Structure 1
């Protein structure tokens, strides 16, 4: 079976730390795959809040996840602190990819790599929309020069 090979950005532009809670642990006694997706979501929300956005409040638009890949590299356990490094890549007219490197804070061991593709969405019109310039201005100003 082939494995996913995620290309990491040249630089990560944001990081946040999250505690692994008992509710994040599955029957294997480590963070479950579904819980990792929730932790990635929390990291994305924190990034957006850092730029005065919310998932439903980016110049009147929201976000929709179009695809998701998580590649696990190590287990993580209750009580550990995970550092979520986040970068933005693969911009197009309607969205981009959020790329993550998740590390165990104690030993910097990589726990997971992930990619979440998003598009901007006009919930009133029920259709995808172009990336709002304010998102690029605050989150990816280098994209404005292209």
Structure 2
């Protein structure tokens, strides 16, 4: 099977540090793949909190993960301090991708590259929602669409 290749941006807008805990180690005595997904989740939460958002309140709607890709480049062990560089890319009208570069501070080696696709979701109405204007304004001002048309400013449209 061919390896997945993730093309990541050169610049990330946020970074946070997390330490590998003993509970993150698997039978191979290194960071487990399931635990990496949990660490990526924590990094995404910290990214959102940095912009005064939570997963359940981004301009009145939440977000839902639709897909995830993780490619491992090197091992990581107990007590390693990892830097999670986080950015957002590939907007569509309902979501975007969070991208991650995970680097081990010990030796400056890349541990993993990852992406999580997300859609914005109105949990009260149980339907997807357009990307909230405030998310663009705070997190991706260079990507903000023209909100002068009615269709671009609607925040509760369902999928086409």
Q: 2:110 maps to what in 1?
A: 110
> What TM-score comes out, normalization by structure 2 length?
0.89
Name the structure 1 match of 2:26. Answer: 26
Partner of 1:65: 65
After superposition, give the CA deviation of every residue in 1:59-98 in whole Å (9 maximum; x if it has no partner).
Answer: 1111100000000000100010000001111000000000
RMSD between aligned alpha carbons? Answer: 0.9
Distance 1:10 1:17 in 2: 19
Does the Cα contact within 8 Å between 1:9 and 1:88 map onto a contact in 2?
A: no
For the residue of structure 1 that corresponds to 2:125, the secondary structure is coil
Unaligned runs of 5+ in 2: 147-160
Deviation at residue 15 of structure 1 after TM alignment: 0.3
Tell me the CA shift for residue 145 of structure 1: 5.7
Q: Which has the larger radius of gyration?
A: 2
Deviation string for 1:12-70 (max 9, x for gaps)? 11000000000100111101000000000000000000000000011111110000000
SS at 1:39 equivalent: helix
Q: Give the whole-Å Cα distance in 2 for the aligned partners of 1:28 and 1:122.
A: 40
Matches within 5 A, 1:121-136: 121-136=121-136
Distance 1:81 1:39 in 2: 12
Runs of 5+ unmatched residues, structure 1: none
The offset of 1:118, in angstroms, is 0.3
CA distance in 2, matches of 1:51, 1:145: 19
**TM-score in terms of structure 1 length:** 0.98
Task: State the 1:10 CA deviation.
Answer: 3.1
Answer 1 or 2: higher relative contact order, Cα 8 Å, separation at least 6.
1
Q: Quote the offset at 1:11 in angstroms.
A: 1.1
CA distance in 1, matches of 2:114, 2:9: 12
Distance in 1 of aligned mates of 2:105 and 2:15: 12
Change (3 A) 1:103 1:52: same
How far the C-alpha of 1:108 sits from its partner, in A, is 1.1
> How many residues in Structure 1 have an aligned counterpart in Structure 2?
146
